[in-house]
Amino acid sequence: MTSNPHLSVIVPAYKEQERIHKILEAITDYQKSHDFGMEVIVVIDGSPDDTLTAALQFQNKVKGLKVINRKENKGKGYSVKQGILEASGDFRLFADADNSTPFQQVDRLFDFTDKYDVVIGSRRVAGGGQKRKQSLFRRVGSDVLNLIIQTLAVRGIKDTQCGFKLLSADAAKKIFSRLTVDRWSFDIEMLAIARTLGYKIAEVPIIWNDDPHSTVNPIKDGLKMIAASWQIRKNVLKGLYK
């Protein structure tokens, strides 16, 4: 009987044909310097490009690679949830396909797993940050949005949106089985559910590489996050996550 892998990595992918090699190459390098068992689950979210072929090129390079090619686009949150719940690792990390948070930094998160079941990468705590400076418009907008999200849904969490989060298997299953948000705001709901269930959350400083080709619209998507945060707050008050 084979034991569970120590780490499952979930990579949601939509229109990532030109970028998914970044995270898969980084994982390949990481596996060479770490001897514990890993599985890597790429969840392709109904992508219209050839992300599938780009991912399958790593079948003989990334140990434990599994590719889920869903035909219907359902959102990043849905994709992460599917990967998390199909994973078998003792710990489950989700990471962005563009490797915007360099994968080697997962070791920083592991340093906190003896005391925390939910450990998240953060650009906003001491020691964290980003290599490429964003425009003033984006920085101010991000600060205002972060303040609103904290006030409505997850007070005290300085960086809800960094796509680099590590959970124990038990926390991952209990949190993501309750997740209802399918798209961008799923991180906020995930953290709100973790709080509701009594999990302590560690924010660990990471260095983030801003991707100039990001498809996130700071105004349109920001407004959606505010609306989602308000709904999440109501869900918490109604006790829906218990």
pLDDT tens figures, 18-52: 999 999 999 999 999 999 999 999 999 999 999 99
For residue 132, pLDDT beyond 80: no
**pLDDT-based confidence at residue 2 (cuts at 50, 70, 90):** low
For domain 7-238, the CATH class is alpha beta
pLDDT tens figures, 137-167: 566 678 889 899 999 999 999 999 999 999 9
Determine the pLDDT at residue 237. Answer: 97
Determine the pLDDT at residue 102. Answer: 96
AA identity, residue 81: K
Determine the pLDDT at residue 1. Answer: 45
For residue 115, pLDDT beyond 90: yes
For every residue of the chain, which 3-state class applies, written as one string? CCCCCCEEEEEEECCCCCCHHHHHHHHHHHHHCCCCCEEEEEEEECCCCCHHHHHHCCCCCCCCEEEEEECCCCCHHHHHHHHHHHCCCCEEEEECCCCCCCHHHHHHHHCCCCCCCEEEEECCCCCCEECCCCCHHHHHHHHHHHHHHHHHCCCCCCCCCCCEEEEEHHHHHHHHCCCCCCCCCHHHHHHHHHHHCCCCEEEEECEECCCCCCCCCCCHHHHHHHHHHHHHHHHHHHCCCC
Determine the pLDDT at residue 131. Answer: 78
pLDDT tens figures, 185-211: 999 999 999 999 999 999 999 999 976
pTM of the model: 0.94
Which range has the worst mean pLDDT, 38-47, 83-92, 97-106, 124-133? 124-133
Determine the pLDDT at residue 137. Answer: 59
Determine the pLDDT at residue 197. Answer: 98
Determine the pLDDT at residue 212. Answer: 60
Q: Provide the percentage of residues in the chain whose pLDDT is more than 90.
A: 85
Task: Please state the rounded mean pLDDT for residues 227-236.
Answer: 97
